Structure 1
Amino acid sequence: MSTYRIAVIGGTGPQGRGLGYRFARHGHTVVLGSRAAEKAVPVAEEVAARLAGVEGAGEVTGAANADACAAADVVLLAVPYDGHDELVATLPLAGKVVVSCVNPLAFDKQGPHGRIIDDGAGSAAESAQRIAPDATVVGAFHHVSAVTLWGDREVIDDEDVLVCGDSADAKAVAIELARSVTGRDGIDAGALRLARQLEPLTAVLISINKRYKVHSGIRISGLSGHA
């Protein structure tokens, strides 16, 4: 398995912290990014302490967002959608694989629902690609619960990571990174525009979680050889 230097933008939030923990647990070097380094450092120390004694674990540090990106091979966007475009525009992303797990959601009296991006012809991942045209953006890790990511299971082997993108090479990176979470390759779910369906699907899982008091995930059946 390849090892990467991964910048997690939004690394102090539950999703970013959980994914950073999973990546570092499986040997990747992780830099948790935040708007201010002094916010990222204690969260990185918390993750590093959790990894104490884990053989082969990667280093975890904290930095300001732009500094976290600077030396990274892969940049994971794990930030709220509000302010997403403005933040992405400030990051040095050229030449990097950018993995977006951003879920543009809204909540009202009826519960969670997906926000409509660009009149239905866009998604957070596509917005990131438009803003950072010299990066290669894929969508992945939208549907894994932050609670499950931070849990004690070695791998979350009853779920799949769905990966969408327009570059086969960039998708291959995210598909491989999925092994750090589920213990097996992610699933190539098609073109980047399918993020328009994958991102709001998270609202369905949140609704299920609330009704059944669980941390639900997605598993794809019928794929031969995908154990």
Structure 2
Amino acid sequence: MTDTKYTVAVIGGTGPQGKGLGYRFAKGGHDVVLGSRAAEKAETVAEEVVERLGGADGAGRVGGAANPDAVAGCDVVLLAVPYDGHDELVASLPLAGKTVISCVNPLAFDKRGAHGKVIDGGEGSAAESAQRLAPEATVVGAFHNVSAVGLWEDAEYLDEDVIVVGDVVEAKEVAMDLAASVTGRRGIDGGKLRLARQLEPFTAVLISINRKYKVHSGLRITGLEH
């Protein structure tokens, strides 16, 4: 576990994934600002998270704000938003100088189930799009495959690993530190940002497993000493 504490803006913080990650980060001692288009909605969900924390020892502070204000007050920004409207939202945020963590999964659904959308003809991903749209930020991909249901449950930690991809080691270290609040151990360096092209659509495989076996599955990486 890391002693470093971060202040994290969770954009999409009122959705299940954003709320769940915000809860886990705060439980791990990090300060969290949930962002939404409407500040009032963000503040209401922040109150839910505070209630869920129940005064846990060492928990960080949790607040809510409109998206631009949430970003302005934090050094780390988590993008936990649907892919539809992603580019327009990212382009509107003051992300320069921030470490940006994208857990956005461009997925589509049809009668055969979930599958990954093809981004930029197979040469891109949501994380890479965010980096292109915010060139003065440093974007990494992480938390793609973590179950929103599991994040909000009672288990102390999720029994899985968080894979982090990015082109800047220091930014990956931030996401790897934050992963410890979710899984009880630091995240795993999975390589360069372009590998988000594999991590993002892999979530569709987990959705398929979950439907088949009625579970909330995750990824574990073997062969490493944690």
TM-score (norm 1): 0.98
Match of 1:101 among 97, 100, 103: 103
Superposition RMSD on alpha carbons, in Å?
A: 0.5
Report how far residue 48 of structure 1 moved: 0.5
Distance across 2 between alignment mates of 1:208 and 1:4: 34
AA at the equivalent of 2:206: L
User: Counterpart of 2:13 in 1: which secondary structure?
Assistant: coil
Q: Which of 50, 56, 59 is 1:54 aligned to?
A: 56
In structure 2, give the amino acid aligned to 1:169: E
Segments of structure 1 that go 5 or more residues without pairing to the other structure are none
Amino acid at match of 2:207: I
CA distance in 1, matches of 2:109, 2:201: 12
C-alpha deviations, 1:45-72, integer Å up to 9, x for none?
0001111220010110000000000010
For residue 91 of structure 2, what is the aligned residue in structure 1? 89
Alignment-mate amino acid for residue 174 of structure 2: V
Task: Provide the rounded CA distance (Å) in 1 between the counterparts of 2:73 and 2:61.
Answer: 14
Matched, 1:22 2:30: no
Q: Distance in 1 between the 2:39 and 2:62 partners?
A: 13
Q: Does 1:124 pair with 2:126?
A: yes
- Residue 167 of structure 1 is matched in structure 2 by 168
In structure 2, C-alpha distance between the alignment counterparts of 1:50 and 1:36, rounded to whole Å:
22
User: What amino acid maps onto 1:204 in structure 2?
Assistant: V
1:222 & 1:59 partners in 2: Cα distance?
A: 36
For residues 137-166 of structure 1, the C-alpha deviation after alignment (integer angstroms, 9 at most, x for no partner) is 00000001000000001111x200000000
For residues 74-129 of structure 1, give each alpha carbon's deviation from its aligned partner in whole angstroms, at most 9, with x where no partner exists: 00000000000000001010001000000000000110000000000000000000
Query: How much identity, in percent, do the aligned residues show?
Result: 75
Could you tell me how far apart the structure 2 residues matched to 1:111 and 1:155 are? 29
3-state SS of 2:63 partner: strand
Partner amino acid, structure 2, of 1:65? N
Q: Give the secondary structure class of the aligned counterpart of 2:8.
A: strand
Paired position in structure 1 for 2:211: 210
Worse-matched range after superposition: 51-60 or 103-112: 51-60
Partner Cα separation in structure 1 for residue 61 and residue 145 of structure 2: 25
- Divergent runs of 4+, >3 A: none
- Long gaps (5+) in structure 2: none
CA distance in structure 1 between the partners assigned to 2:29 and 2:104 by the alignment: 24
1:21-62 deviation digits (Å, cap 9, x = unpaired)? 000001100000001101111100000111122001011000
Q: Which amino acid letter does the alignment assign opposite residue 97 of structure 1?
A: T
Q: Deviations over 1:4-35 (max 9, x none)?
A: 11000000000000000000001100000001
The answer on 1:4 being equivalent to 2:6 is yes
Match of 1:200 in 2: 201
* Number of residues of Structure 1 aligned to a counterpart in Structure 2: 224
